[in-house]
Chains A and B, each alone.
Chain A
Amino acid sequence: MAKFPRDTFRDSLSVSLTVGAYGVAFGAASIAAHFSVLQTCLFSLLTFTGASQFAAVGVVAAGGAGLSAVAAATLLSTRNALYGMQMSPLLKVRGLKKIAAAHVTIDESTGVALAQTPRGTEAMRTGFWLTGLGVFIFWNIFTLLGALGAKALGDPASFGLDAAVPAAYLGLLWPRLQTNFLRLVAVASMIFALAITSWLPAGLPIIMSVLMAIAFGWREV
């Protein structure tokens, strides 16, 4: 343990705890979408990429088709491929370790790893693994707690769970809206999704909103 740079360890642990706690919201959202407690926990164990999990249960809750749910979740996870591409040359692992590294390649592990750049390669690797495993542990514990809590409460509308889910999305979106351009993309996506709601099957407007990302990202601003 003495080999761990103290600051890297602190960064990893604080991120793991904070982000892991969001698992409560996912657990509750999944139960509100009528997934079982077992399915909810398997989502966090197997899918393990928060925004995609929220999207999958969100599309189901909105009455969307299963295919739409999987497509929305998959689209939301494409950024993980970019993270893997950056982390792979740094980690230099093979076999089972590669599988494990891929599974914990998420916003937070990549973010903490990149933040350790001034502290050197070893600190970056440590940051990646500690944060990836830390978030994995806490995210799964808190998912179970959220699922059991929501199950105990009962009717989602009666306890405001049906509003807690979009509120959680808003909470996930908020820190990403750092510039006016990004805020514009968010507002345009909301208006676009609402505008096409009456014409498309439930769930599809969510996926179609990716067109806004393509339109706004096409040219440099």
Chain B
Amino acid sequence: MMWAVLLGTSVFCFAIKLLGHYIPETWLSHPRLQRINALIPISLLSALIVAQGLVIKTHIVIDHRLAGVGVALAALLAKMPFPVVVVSAAVASALAYHLH
């Protein structure tokens, strides 16, 4: 399955990039399409955060990961750079995991 995901993702993502270079500029310029397109990354990333931070399989589970995401949020509010955000989240989560 891992190879199928890798190859499927690569093929479709490249096809979309290439498609953009071949279609006339007017095709995708409908305002509604542009608005939705701009919101898709926001919706998907938001869902990914909760899916990976608060869910195991199909259950909502509050565990050490939430400590990490909370610290990441605090780091972002404090305008820390991306590596600091990720590393501090990892450290907080690992601490919570081992203390538990």
A interface residues (Cβ-Cβ under 8 A, vs B): 21-22, 24-25, 34-36, 39, 42-43, 46-49, 51-56, 58-63, 66, 69-70, 72-89, 98-99, 101-103, 105, 157-174, 176-177, 182, 185-187, 189-190, 192-194, 197-203, 205-214, 216-218, 220
Contacts and interface: CB of A to CB of B under 8 A. Distances in A.
14 contacts: A34-B2, A39-B6, A78-B37, A85-B20, A160-B97, A164-B90, A167-B90, A173-B46, A186-B42, A193-B47, A194-B54, A201-B58, A209-B43, A213-B44
Given A25-B86, A82-B28, 17 more contacts: A25-B82, A35-B6, A39-B3, A59-B51, A70-B9, A77-B12, A81-B17, A88-B21, A157-B94, A186-B46, A197-B51, A198-B58, A205-B55, A212-B39, A213-B36, A217-B39, A220-B35
A102 B49 contact: no
A43 B6 contact: yes
B27 A166 contact: no
B14 A170 contact: no
By secondary structure, the B interface counts as helix
A67 B9 CA distance: 9
Contacts of B42: 173, 176-177, 182, 185-186, 189, 213
B12 A163 contact: no
